[in-house]
Amino acid sequence: MRNPFRPSVDDAVNIEDLRRLARQRVPDPVFDYIDGGADGEVTLRDNRRSWDEVLFRPRNAVRIPACDTTTELFGARLSMPMLLAPVGYSRLFHPVGEIGVARAAKTAGIGYVLSTFAGYRVDEVAAAAGPLWYQLYLAGGRAIVETSLARAWNAGCRVLAITIDTNAPGHRERDIRNHSAQLIGEGLLNKARFVPHLLRHPRWLSGFIGDRKQVMFYPNVVIPGDGPLRARDVRGNLSRAMLEWSDLSWIRRCWPGPIVMKGVITRDDARRSMDEGAAGVVVSNHGGRQLDTCFPTARALPEVVAAIGSQGVVLVDGGIRRGGDIAKAIAMGATAVLVGRAYAYGLAGAGLQGVSRAIEILRADLVRTLGLLGCASVKELSGKYVELPKNW
């Protein structure tokens, strides 16, 4: 019999409940890595708040016997207009890591975008996944990137999402205070300071000890003569791997499928993406984890949609915690959304079951929102169902 005083993933009715569960289940440095943002975390908060500022305009006295949430994106049929966003270090949250995320996404009939810094090989994840995209950082140099892209394509990834908003690593103050780099670094002595945190989370600790050697490496970035990229080297590697627009012609030669540019929040970058041959963009500020006090994504979305027009698809992430946020994004012109923290909380709190619960919550929210809007299908959502703040 379930203890009513011990929260369970099945008790979660919204994403905030999963967030609280994650806080209980993993050590503070791990939770803060998932939960935190850059500098003063202004953009982190604004991402969430900006969706709340968009107001619905429902059509009432409309009978909706069933709501259609299906959509198509780059030839893949999705059960709802949502993909699970790339989240690095997922294996640190729970040993099932990206394989568990992929299984949950496949069962739910949605897509998954695998991070370059995944803890499992892309072919292992692809074996568990439905529609799978690959997210790219230029880690390791051109020769290594070309090998990584070939490996991802051969494994079954069919869309490439290139992250362009990491000109420098973000200044994440929670991670610095928590000495998080030492937790994922090598050497047991480096972890002595974490003993109080770890002992309070025996379930997580047991998984971490059993999985520790794999958590420290990223097998999709293989350095010749040195093996998989070490977690301790990621930050320095990113600092040396800044992407420039001129790299796009080279990447297009290496990747046979569609490319989307992730990290676009201005019309200029949106148009440049199209000019460089991209098939679409993701309106994203990296979840508020890079440049603080930049535009929240909901506010940037209309500008990017207008700039892209019919040239490509527009996706959006950042601050999406409810199905109503998904409906607003689609009504504002996005084709689909990416969610990151929402499922990362579930993964940290309850592994695969937690990811599945996060998807279930967002799906139920979306269906309920469509019914209350008097809108039978996500394909019918348009600007007539929302009103944007006048100061946007």
DSSP per-residue letters across 106-161: HHHT-EEEE-TT-SS-HHHHHHH-SSEEEEE--TT-HHHHHHHHHHHHHHT--EEE
Q: Write down the pLDDT at residue 127.
A: 98
Give the three-state DSSP class for 260.
strand
Residue carrying structure tokens 């350095």: 223
Q: What's the length of the chain?
A: 392
pTM (predicted TM-score):
0.95
To the query of whether residue 197 is one of the catalytic residues in this protein, the response is no
- Tens-digit pLDDT profile for residues 266-314: 999 999 999 999 999 999 999 999 999 999 999 999 999 999 999 999 9
d(CA 146, CA 160): 13
Q: Are 367 and 31 in contact (CB under 8 A)?
A: no
d(CA 355, CA 50): 25
Give the CA radius of gyration of the chain. Answer: 20
Tokens standing for 190?
A: 């480096």
* Cβ burial 80-90 (10 Å sphere, 16+ → b, else e): bbbbbbbbbbb
Q: Write down the pLDDT at residue 208.
A: 82
Q: Write down the pLDDT at residue 1.
A: 45
Q: Write down the pLDDT at residue 180.
A: 79
d(CA 360, CA 13): 10
Q: Among the options 94, 197, 201, 286, which is catalytic?
A: 286
Give CATH for domain 9-384.
3.20.20.70
Q: Write down the pLDDT at residue 210.
A: 80
- Count other C-beta atoms under 10 Å from residue 143's C-beta: 9
> What Cα–Cα distance (Å) separates residue 303 from each residue in 46, 292, 298, 307, 379?
17, 20, 10, 6, 21
Indicate the residue type of 57. R
Q: Collect the ranges in the chain with pLDDT lower than 50.
A: 1, 5
> What Cα–Cα distance (Å) separates residue 14 from each residue in 65, 189, 190, 255, 352?
24, 39, 37, 38, 17
Q: Write down the pLDDT at residue 178.
A: 86
Q: Write down the pLDDT at residue 232.
A: 77
Pairing of the two strands 386-387 and 55-56: antiparallel
Rounded to 5 degrees, φ, ψ at 160 are -110, 125
Q: Write down the pLDDT at residue 242.
A: 82
